């Protein structure tokens, strides 16, 4: 049986993730980025532990279904106030390693879900 990938041309796709870099639509990034479904935005934070509720204000206005936070090689939890604010707005938030976040993003995106991702390579 031959299987063929059926990929929508809409939105951003993660091509690859390696330690220290993420490839998104053919462009390689070695710094933290935010995928908002339509653009790759640079993040000026050293690590995910530095995220605050203010960093998610744009996401709150856009109302994605899920926010993924890829924290690098190891999972780092966000401050409970950050996750509580997103949850109160009806937005799911998950923190995980960046490799897991990239895989999860691709699955949710391929299902047509509105997903944003903050990723540290």
The predicted-structure confidence for 33-66, as pLDDT tens digits, reads as follows 999 988 999 999 999 999 998 999 989 889 999 9
Structural tokens at position 30: 């070695």
All structural domains of the chain, each given as residue ranges with its CATH number in brackets, are 30-119 (3.40.1230.10)
Within 13 Å of residue 102, how many CA atoms lie on the same side as its CB? 23
- Model confidence at 8, pLDDT cuts 50, 70, 90, reads low
pTM of the model: 0.90
- Using a pLDDT cut of 70, give the percent of the chain over it: 93
Tokens 């934070």 belong to which residue?
Answer: 45
What is the pLDDT of the chain when averaged over all its residues? 91
Q: 84 pLDDT exceeds 70?
A: yes
Please list the alpha-helical segments (H only) found in the chain: 57-62, 80-88, 98-110
């Amino acid at each position: 049986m031959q299987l063929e990938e059926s990929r929508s041309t809409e939105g951003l796709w993660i091509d690859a993730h390696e330690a220290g870099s993420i490839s998104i639509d053919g462009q390689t990034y070695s710094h933290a980025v935010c995928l908002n479904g339509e653009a790759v935005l640079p993040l000026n934070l050293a690590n995910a532990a530095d995220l605050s509720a203010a960093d998610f204000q744009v996401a709150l206005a856009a109302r994605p279904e899920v926010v993924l936070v890829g924290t690098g090689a190891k999972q780092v939890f966000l401050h409970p106030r950050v996750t509580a604010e997103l949850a109160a707005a009806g937005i799911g938030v998950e923190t995980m390693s960046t490799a897991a976040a990239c895989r999860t993003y691709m699955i949710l995106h391929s299902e047509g879900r509105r997903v944003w991702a903050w990723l540290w390579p």
